[in-house]
Amino acid sequence: MKNPIRIGILGCGNVGSALVYLVAQEPDEFTVEKIAVNRIEASREPHIDISKLTADSSSVVVDQNVEIVVELIGGITVAKDLIELALKNKKPVVTANKELMAKHGTELLRIAKDNGVDLLFEASVCGAIPIVRLLKESLVGEEITRIVGILNGTTNYILTKMTEDRLDFEQALQMAQKLGYAEKDPTADIKGYDAGAKAAILTSSAFITFVDPDSVFIEGIADITLQDIDFAIKNGMVIKLVAVIEKLRNEISSELQISIRVHPMMIKISHPLASVRNSYNAVFIEGEAIGEMMLYGKGAGGLPTASAVLGDILDAKHNMSLNTFNRFAEPRLIPIYDQNKLTSEFYIAVDVADEPGVLAKVAQIFGSNRISISSMEQNGFGQNARLVFFTHSAMEADMKETVNQLSELESVKKVGSVIRVMV
């Protein structure tokens, strides 16, 4: 008979409970030794053996019988201390903690390496989609040029409902909350921070570097209106919250740099990412040799995420049996490309008073900031007039200045959404 892998689990929420369920299907392969929880008395699903629960999380990490530690509590401080303790006790760790891996991944991976054990984190980005392993292993020889990902299911669900069911942002958010996609406090999802942390991990994994998640340029989706969505549709596009990770050269020094940004984007309906609906995630990769590639799947939820955790557990066990651990590549420093210098085509909506001369003043501001308009449409009249522009490729800094100057024009009531357009 086989020796089952002896697991200690930190946290028994949605993913922890699903993991216990999955491992229970293979009793010859796995056994759960202990599960650390905050509240022992909380009600649990029937497959959770409450005799395994403990409130003492360190006891799970140092338990002689625990071979592999699975961290599913999330957050930074406690999780980091426990992971460090496990690694220093020569125990491989599997984690789904994106916040922690984005902020302290390099430091923790180095501790893992120094102790000769694995720290695996496939489940920290896009749940069931095996993107971390793909970037670190399968594509390690590839010259990746750009990654564009829909990394957040909640915002993708909201934008899908706005597009297909014509719900406004608040209604779509409420539906996402009712279905359990969005948290009661949805800030991290709708403001783009969740996708930003995932983008930082993907960048570090793809380019063997370290990116502080605070250096990712982030804009969320809370200001997207149905009018923006309608305008996109009319022009054969959809609006998606995307993370873009791109290798660029500094124009002066020609030094290699990386641009990392999360923001809404108008995407042509013919692009594969446009067909990613509801709470699904997808990652579109472009590389010198591979051309284009896309991975699509469930980016959140108990079972999909637990499946990724289980894959890492098996990987860690395999490595343990060979007395080895996954390769650790020393990260190189790659500077972040200045967002202000990026160029993009833009959509911009401006609410104005419909009076003679207003369009000329607005157009003058675009022109004086070196922005060339590719099309313009007026919707509504009188006090409810809206001018909608598409621009040719323009620099971010110039667009920012244009928006500032437009906002100061007396005849401009409001500058609405400014959305980048993928070309």
For residue 195, give the nearest of 248, 139, 154, 239 by alpha carbon: 154
User: What pairing do the DSSP bridges indicate for beta strands 93-95 and 119-120?
Assistant: parallel
Which one among 189, 228, 312, 398 touches ligand HSE, defined by CB under 6 A? 189
CB closer to ligand HSE, 221 vs 371: 221
CB closer to ligand HSE, 300 vs 387: 300
Q: Binders of ligand HSE among 25-84, rule CB under 6 A?
A: none
- Report d(CA 310, CA 337) in Å as an integer: 36
Q: Tell me, residue by residue from 102 to 141, as one string, x for binding to ligand HSE by CB under 6 A and - for no binding.
A: ----------------------------------------
Smallest distance from the beta carbon of 12 to ligand HSE, in angstroms?
17
CB closer to ligand HSE, 177 vs 235: 177
Smallest distance from the beta carbon of 155 to ligand HSE, in angstroms?
7
Smallest distance from the beta carbon of 181 to ligand HSE, in angstroms?
6
Q: Which residues contact 199 (CB under 8 A, 6 or more apart)?
A: 149, 151, 213, 216, 243, 245, 260, 261, 262
**198 carries an active-site annotation:** yes
Smallest distance from the beta carbon of 331 to ligand HSE, in angstroms?
23
b/e for 82-94, b at 16 or more Cβ within 10 A?
Answer: bbbbbbeeebbbb
CB closer to ligand HSE, 92 vs 196: 196
Number of residues binding to ligand HSE, judged by CB under 6 A: 9
Q: Name residue 342's amino acid.
A: L
CB closer to ligand HSE, 154 vs 307: 154
- Report d(CA 214, CA 84) in Å as an integer: 23
Stretch that binds ligand HSE, among 151-159, 201-209, 255-263, 391-399 (CB under 6 A): 151-159
Phi, psi (degrees; rounded to nearest 5) at 334? -120, 120
CB closer to ligand HSE, 115 vs 154: 154
Which one among 115, 154, 259, 344 touches ligand HSE, defined by CB under 6 A? 154
Smallest distance from the beta carbon of 83 to ligand HSE, in angstroms?
18
Which one among 17, 57, 97, 152 touches ligand HSE, defined by CB under 6 A? 152
Local structure of 172: helix, strand or coil: helix
For residue 211, give the nearest of 221, 201, 223 by alpha carbon: 201
Stretch that binds ligand HSE, among 73-81, 134-142, 149-157, 377-385 (CB under 6 A): 149-157
- Report d(CA 288, CA 397) in Å as an integer: 30
- Report d(CA 255, CA 260) in Å as an integer: 16
Can you spell out the DSSP letters for 257-326?
EEEEEEEEEEEETTSGGGG--TTEEEEEEEETTTEEEEEEEE-SSHHHHHHHHHHHHHHHHHHHHTT---
b/e for 294-307, b at 16 or more Cβ within 10 A?
Answer: ebbbbbbbbbbbbb
Smallest distance from the beta carbon of 238 to ligand HSE, in angstroms?
18
Smallest distance from the beta carbon of 190 to ligand HSE, in angstroms?
10
| Token code pair at residue 64 | 């002689």
Which one among 8, 11, 149, 299 touches ligand HSE, defined by CB under 6 A? 299
- Report d(CA 60, CA 142) in Å as an integer: 40
Which one among 132, 144, 245, 300 touches ligand HSE, defined by CB under 6 A? 300
Stretch that binds ligand HSE, among 32-40, 57-65, 150-158, 259-267 (CB under 6 A): 150-158
Which one among 194, 228, 315, 396 touches ligand HSE, defined by CB under 6 A? 194
Which position among 136, 161, 198, 298 bears the catalytic label? Answer: 198
Local structure of 86: helix, strand or coil: helix
**Interface with ligand HSE includes 259 (CB under 6 A)?**
no
Which one among 8, 16, 130, 153 touches ligand HSE, defined by CB under 6 A? 153
- The angle that helices 396-408 and 358-368 make with each other, rounded to 10 degrees, is 150
CB closer to ligand HSE, 201 vs 237: 201
Smallest distance from the beta carbon of 364 to ligand HSE, in angstroms?
42
| Token code pair at residue 282 | 């997808």
CB closer to ligand HSE, 152 vs 307: 152
- Report d(CA 242, CA 221) in Å as an integer: 10
The footprint of ligand HSE (CB under 6 A) covers 98, 152-154, 181, 189, 194, 299-300
Which residue numbers are catalytic?
A: 198
